[in-house]
Structure 1
Amino acid sequence: MKFLDRRERVHKGMLVLGAVVAGLTAAATPAGAGSRPAHGPVGVTIVIAAANGSGCPPGTVRTQLDPDRDGFKVVYSQHRAQVGGSSSPADSRKNCQILLKVRVPDGYSYAISQVRSHGYAQLQDGANALHKGAFYFQGVLDGTRITHELKGAFRGNWRFTDTLPVLDWTRCGEEPDLILYTELRVDKGTSDPAKVSFISMDSTDQDAGTTYRLAWRTCP
């Protein structure tokens, strides 16, 4: 997966127990772009066409479309990275790349306007964890990256919210595949190597996963 620096938006920060890190305002709709309905049109469908990576073995990831079609959630059941104890070197980094088939009724265009990621972590003093996210439309050479860090000692839920300052809209009449990427890493740092540190996005927590908010507009 390749991204160009020219349009990369990177948000860095730490969020503890639900506090919001990023809250940037999305750009206004360009003139002549059509109206901005509050919810998505009836008939929107989102299907996982492929999922690959150590963080999403076959059958361990699914999507949920909101009833109002103004967003969707990706839920994982085995997305967890850890170090320490009997962990192997490969356990310290887990990733998942998903290809989504998004079908939209004629006359509408959409963009991802916000990304909310939620999970759980237990980090020993001296350890740290990294959460990375990215998305782009297939056939486009650039995309959006998001990076956040957690530092130990830490134990509890984490939640990161990133509202995008610039929206990348699909072209009217086109339905490009949407590619999503998530990565979790843990570094033991100066922590006791006999003690386990981990970060997860798995569904042992009902709210864990990534929610993508959608902005809609009608075609001119």
Structure 2
Amino acid sequence: MQKGFRSFSPMAAMATLLLLTILQLAVHGSAQAPPPGTVTIDGVSYAGDGCPSGSVAYSVSDDFQALTVMYSSYTATTDQGLLNTRKRCTLTIKLNYPPGFFYTLGTVTVRGYTKLDAKVKGTVRVTYHVSGRVGSGAATYNFYGPTEENFERTESFANGVSSECGRVRDLNIVTEGRVHPGKPPKTGIITVDSTDLKLTEIYSIKWNKC
């Protein structure tokens, strides 16, 4: 499992899924949220075939309210048959927040670009779970060819699980990108657009008092 911050050069391949993840850690103005400045990110680690060593960069905002993660080698493509049509990456985020609060993930907004041939399906699936807790939340985005579009979609996590009062647990987020080429196999891509090749996900966290 890899850790740390590292920069990278742009990808040249067309059939690529790159992810930019922004985790909103507090809802400003909410009476149920921890006081400003009391929620921090103590570390991020990652693992999976969608995020090989050295391919992930992340940064934390000055106010500790947002985490930005970028993957430089998250490639879901039909170029090599079925070999690279599915990629997966798991993030483990070490949160630190004051006692007396617990959280769930509310929604995830995905922005991107997709181009799929007829009878080709593209899927982005995001799941999360809290370490030591039973259950997980999931949000799935499906795209059907023929299509070429810029998109922005917001979904609520189904069957969301919360952290527990009195214990601070790691937040685990799994993102999977997949292109289903169909029969006979055709081509497809999922990315943010033809210019900067990123897919953006924005997570909202719902805080509650114990």
TM-score, structure 2 length as denominator?
0.71
Aligned ranges 1:59-70 → 2 under 5 Å: 59-63=54-58
Structure 1 residues 136, 201: closer, same or farther in 2, change over 3 A? farther
Percent identity between the aligned chains? 27
Structure 1 residues 206, 104: closer, same or farther in 2, change over 3 A? farther
SS in 2 for 1:80: coil
Counterpart position of 2:14: none
Q: 2:129, 2:35 → 1: CA distance?
A: 20
Counterpart position of 1:80: 75
Counterpart position of 1:124: 117
Counterpart position of 1:46: 41
Give the alignment partner of residue 215 of structure 1, picking from 201, 206, 209.
206
Instruction: Spell out, residue by residue over 1:153-209, the C-alpha distance to the aligned partner (whole angstroms, 9 max, x if none).
Output: 12232333113476633223311011110111111114664xx4112369x648623
Q: 1:181, 1:197 → 2: CA distance?
A: 22
Counterpart position of 1:197: 188
Bigger mean CA deviation after superposition, 129-138 or 153-162:
153-162
Q: 1:216, 1:114 → 2: CA distance?
A: 13
Structure 1 residues 121, 217: closer, same or farther in 2, change over 3 A? same
Instruction: Spell out, residue by residue over 1:9-45, the C-alpha distance to the aligned partner (whole angstroms, 9 max, x if none).
Output: xxxxxxxxxxxxxxxxxxxxxxxxxx83467631322
More relative contact order in 1 or in 2 (CA 8 Å, sep 6+)? 1
SS in 1 for 2:36: coil
Q: 1:149, 1:135 → 2: CA distance?
A: 18
Counterpart position of 1:18: none
Instruction: Spell out, residue by residue over 1:100-158, the C-alpha distance to the aligned partner (whole angstroms, 9 max, x if none).
Output: 10111233332211111222222112211111110000112211122221011122323
Supply the RMSD in Å over aligned alpha carbons.
3.1
TM-score, structure 1 length as denominator?
0.68
Unaligned runs of 5+ in 1: 1-34
Count of matched residue positions in the alignment of Structure 1 and Structure 2: 181
Q: 1:43, 1:206 → 2: CA distance?
A: 34
Q: 2:133, 2:84 → 1: CA distance?
A: 31
Q: 1:128, 1:154 → 2: CA distance?
A: 10
1:109 aligns with 2:102: yes
Alignment check: 8 A CA contact 1:40 1:69 kept: no
Q: 2:209, 2:103 → 1: CA distance?
A: 9
Q: 1:169, 1:211 → 2: CA distance?
A: 18
Unaligned runs of 5+ in 2: 1-29
Give the alignment partner of residue 157 of structure 1, picking from 146, 150, 156.
150
